[in-house]
Chain A
């Protein structure tokens, strides 16, 4: 299977603990995105990488959240001192960005992984 993979698929943790999620994108894709989705809602953008550079971060991403993509391939998303409000599905997506900006004549299409469902007790 050459799609986007995420690990773990499910995580249950206690409030105050740290958690780390991993995303492996489609191998030739240079862009990687993280989203958070709560039940019945559309995904909300968290952050975005082009190769190893983190180019954008949403205001939703508090200081407790950090993401890395050290070699421009897989990425990790860490949440420190988890809170019950962090409970959600965390989705990763990758794409092949052919233009400088996604909104400028781009036909960029994102392909999503299955997500990591986090429950903070």
Chain B
């Protein structure tokens, strides 16, 4: 059982469409990070969300942290081919030491 479950696992959409990726857990997190990873490279940090209910925007990307700090979502508006990649949520659950957990990942393909 994965601590952080992401959905969908795969997503293929046309350029210009909107999409939402979900990251869910039964554990409470002090913060959650979202990363994007391209093939053959390490994950690159997009954002960190800290406060329950927090919404952060990064150009066409909107990140939300759930009120209970157990879940998060990533919404992309007007997707572009450059958004293609593996999207990962990650964090360390409260009171469990320093082990950092990654989500199962969402592989996004944006078709021109």
Contact = CB atoms under 8 A, between A and B. Distances in A.
Interface string A89-115: 001010001000111111111111111
A19 to B, nearest CB: 18
A43 B102 contact: yes
B104 A103 contact: no
Q: Place the interface of chain A in its size category.
A: 35 or more
Interface residues of B, number: 33
Interface stretch (B42-50, B56-64, B74-82): B42-50
Given A40-B105, A41-B104, A108-B92, A101 B48 contact: no
Interface in A34-75: 35, 40-45, 48, 50, 55-56, 58
B30 A42 contact: no
B4 to A, nearest CB: 8
A6 B42 CA distance: 10
A102 B103 CA distance: 17
Contact of A58 (B93, B94, B99, B103): B99
Given A105-B30, A115-B41, A41 B105 contact: yes
Contacts of B45: 109-112
B55 interface: no
Given A58-B99, A103-B93, A109-B48, 6 more contacts: A40-B86, A41-B105, A42-B105, A43-B88, A102-B97, A103-B30
